[in-house]
Amino acid sequence: MIIYTSVAVFLFFAIALVIPSGFSVGAVLLLAGSIVLLRKHAKIKLQREEIILISVLALYFLAGSFANLVHGAPIREYDSPMRFMLAIPVLLLLRVFPPIPRFFWGGVATGAIASGLFAAWQFFFEGGMRADGFTNPIQFGNIGILLGILCLPGLGWAASQRRSAFWLILLSGGIFLGLLGSLFSESRGSWISLPVALLVAYQCYGEALHKRHIAASLAVMLVLFGVLYVMPRTPMEVRVRLSIAETQDYFKSGNTMTSAGTRLEMWRTGLLLFPERPWLGWGKEGYMKEAARLTQAGKVRPTDDVHSHLHNEYLDALVKRGVLGLAALLILYLVPLALFVKRIRSENHAVRPYAVAGALLSVCYICFGLTQAFLTHNNGVMIFAFTLVILWSLLREQESNGAAYNSVNGTHRDAP
């Protein structure tokens, strides 16, 4: 059964962006596998922290469902919060049959590399449009850069493996091509997560690295992004300049017919609506009707498109589900973050890569949420919820595996 869960975890990441709803393949396999727990009457020993994690997932589902019930939302609106509940049996399955570490790291690296190559193909050979895979450019860019960033702590795991050179090359390729895929998606919001993630990774691993290595890594990163920015007509240079120009245009002339102008006006609309229903919000349909009313009344300007969310996770939760909805969202991000951060300095070095990866998962989503309501999309929900429980199961397996840490020489070997 461990091979089954390992293959499912590998597929969840490896094909997430290169086939339609690719993440669903591994997710369905994991969910189907959880039926085994009922048949075998498996005994699962849950720590207090695992109960907290399960409670966090259940709370987000309950908060979303309660808001839908209050606002009379159609049944389809329950789909997104329900997916957090689906991650709970998967967590239980992976605690009994944890995936083999190399399948996880291999899947993440393969997914990042595949997304970067696919994005390059779309950008150069399919008309030079924004790379979007089989989703939209923002989702593609966010997930692509997340996969690349998750490869960062994998380098710490790779250094202790027998075939360390192979794994270091593979994961380094994942970092580069994951970032490249995001670049070709031209999703500016995803780029915000990179410097924050690098800072978090440095705080976690900085003391273990030689200053020359840190300086060299930073120099390479700065040169790479400097070249990408100054080269004429690269996606980064064009999108950064466009973002600055659109923002200036909005504040000078009130132009809302641009990407940045639309976002800024939607945020202003949300801030106008929130005080009227602060506790439970307006709901999705209520928000859209009230936004249209404000536009017709001339209190907000019309935008270049009609959106069902506010392109900001926190404001979207606040306006649609009120303070209670925002609280559930913050708990969803911050409680798992705290659980992983607690283990970043673990004496068991085999635990650290998964602790750092878990922290980076929450940090990236916190950053993504500044310019996109990521959890209003199925792939945003599935990637977060299932990656969260996968990383936790890997972390817990390393904690409970006494052979993973060699107290004599201070090095570790994960299970192969």
Contact (Cβ atoms closer than 8 angstroms) between residue 368 and residue 190? yes
> Alpha-carbon distance 175 to 70, whole Å?
44
pTM given for the model: 0.92
Which residues lie across from 412 on neighbouring strands?
405
Contact (Cβ atoms closer than 8 angstroms) between residue 116 and residue 181? yes
Contact (Cβ atoms closer than 8 angstroms) between residue 272 and residue 219? no
**pLDDT of 41:** 61
**pLDDT of 339:** 97
**pLDDT of 405:** 45
* Amino acid of residue 333: Y
Three-state SS string over the chain comes to: CHHHHHHHHHHHHHCCCCCCCCHHHHHHHHHHHCHHHHHHCCCCCCCHHHHHHHHHHHHHHHHHHHHHHHHCCCHHHHHHHHHHHHHHHHHHHHHHCCCCHHHHHHHHHHHHHHHHHHHHHHHHHCCCCCCCCCCCHHHHHHHHHHHHHHHHHHHHHHCCCCCHHHHHHHHHHHHHHHHHHHHHHCCHHHHCHHHHHHHHHHHHHHHHCCHHHHHHHHHHHHHHHHHHHHCCCCHHHHHHHHHHHHHHHHHHHCCCCCHHHHHHHHHHHHHHHHHHCCCCCCHHHHHHHHHHHHHHCCCCCCCCCCCCCCCCHHHHHHHHHHHHHHHHHHHHHHHHHHHHHCCCCCCCCCCHHHHHHHHHHHHHHHHHCCCCCHHHCHHHHHHHHHHHHHHHHHHHHHHHCHHHECCCCCCECCCC
One pLDDT digit (tens) per residue for the chain, 416 residues? 899 999 999 999 999 999 999 999 999 999 999 988 777 666 778 899 999 999 999 999 999 999 999 999 999 999 999 999 999 999 999 999 999 999 999 999 999 999 999 999 998 888 767 889 999 999 999 999 999 999 999 988 998 899 989 999 999 999 989 998 998 898 888 888 888 888 887 777 666 554 555 555 556 566 666 655 555 556 677 778 888 999 999 999 989 999 899 999 999 999 999 999 999 999 999 999 999 999 999 999 998 777 888 999 999 999 999 999 999 999 999 999 999 999 998 889 899 999 999 999 999 999 999 999 999 999 999 999 999 999 999 999 999 885 444 443 444 445 45
Helix orientation angle between 23-33 and 2-14, rounded to the nearest 10 degrees = 160
**pLDDT of 413:** 47
Q: Which two tokens stand for residue 248?
A: 């200036």
Which residues lie across from 405 on neighbouring strands?
412
412 phi/psi in degrees, rounded to 5: -140, 160
Contact (Cβ atoms closer than 8 angstroms) between residue 179 and residue 405? no
